[in-house]
Amino acid sequence: MINNIKNKFIKIFAISTAGVSVFFSCDNTDLTETYNEYIPEAVVSVAKPDSVAIVQTGYNKIAFQVFVNADPKINKIVIALFDDDLTDDDDKQVASIDVNRTLFAPEIYEAEVELEEGGAEYFVHIEDEYGNESIKYDVFGTVLGASYVEGLAPRLYSDIRLYSETETIITWESNRTINDDDEEEVVNPLLVKSVITYTSSEDGTELTIEVDESEDSTIIPDFISEGTFTYTTFYKVSANSDYTFESNPTEGTFPTKI
Amino acid, single-letter form, for residue 106: P
Number of H helices, E strands in the chain: 3, 17
- Helix boundaries (H) for the chain: 2-25, 30-38, 146-150
Check whether 141 has a pLDDT greater than 70: yes
Q: Quick one: what percent of the chain has pLDDT higher than 90?
A: 71
Average pLDDT value over all residues in the chain: 85
Could you say which of 2.60.40.10, 1.20.1250.20, 1.10.10.10, 2.60.120.10 is the CATH number of the domain covering 51-148? 2.60.40.10
User: Residue 150 in contact with residue 248, Cβ under 8 Å?
Assistant: yes
pLDDT tens for each residue of 173-223: 999 999 999 999 999 999 999 999 999 999 999 999 999 999 999 999 999
Cα 102 → chain centroid: 25
Check whether 82 has a pLDDT greater than 60: yes
Is the pTM of the predicted complex or chain greater than 0.75?
A: no
Predicted pLDDT at 18: 42
Tally the residues of the chain: 258
**Topology (CATH) of 151-253:** Immunoglobulin-like (2.60.40)
Domain pair 51-148 / 151-253, same fold: yes
Q: Quick one: what percent of the chain has pLDDT higher than 70?
A: 80
DSSP state of 133: B
Segments making up each domain of the chain, as ranges: 51-148, 151-253
**Which of 18-22, 42-46, 244-248 has the least mean pLDDT?**
18-22
- Helix boundaries (H) for 144-219: 146-150
Range among 7-11, 67-71, 99-103, 155-159 with highest mean pLDDT value: 155-159
What count of other Cβ atoms lies within 10 Å of the Cβ of residue 163? 16
Mean pLDDT of 143-165: 96
Check whether 21 has a pLDDT greater than 60: no
Mean pLDDT of 93-119: 93
Check whether 121 has a pLDDT greater than 60: yes
